[in-house]
Structure 1
Amino acid sequence: MKQKVRTSKLFRHIGLYLVYCGSLLLIAGYATGYTQSNTLLIISAIMIIIGTILHIYRLKKESNY
């Protein structure tokens, strides 16, 4: 019988938090006029992609189907 390991709320929703932070970085970069470099775009895109993957993985892992 498998025992479910309790995880903290932060770890459970880390995928969503990464997506939110990546989106906020994009908005903050545009609002402050920091558009000369692609670094901010790349970092926020990586955060959004990894967050999406983690969120989907977590949903599939918790699903009964």
Structure 2
Amino acid sequence: MTDHISKNRERAEAAFSLTQTQHLSRNRVVSEIDAVTIARNEKTARLRALRLEQDAMILAQVAAKSDKD
């Protein structure tokens, strides 16, 4: 009887360990994906700001050129 309980307990602990490992792996992957997403969003915002600045400079140059004409 004790062997039967021990084997059941071993199986339960192995199943729990597997579930826990899968959960931790999933959390690690989600954290990595979140970090990549944040980095991408920051880069996109920086590039957008640079593009808007460049567009404003071009518009100012066009306006200055048309004022001269």
Same fold (TM over 0.5): no
Question: Which protein has the bigger helix share?
Answer: 2
* TM-score, with length taken from structure 1: 0.43
Point out which structure has higher relative CO (alpha carbons under 8 A, 6+ apart): 1
* TM-score, with length taken from structure 2: 0.41
Structure of larger gyration radius: 2
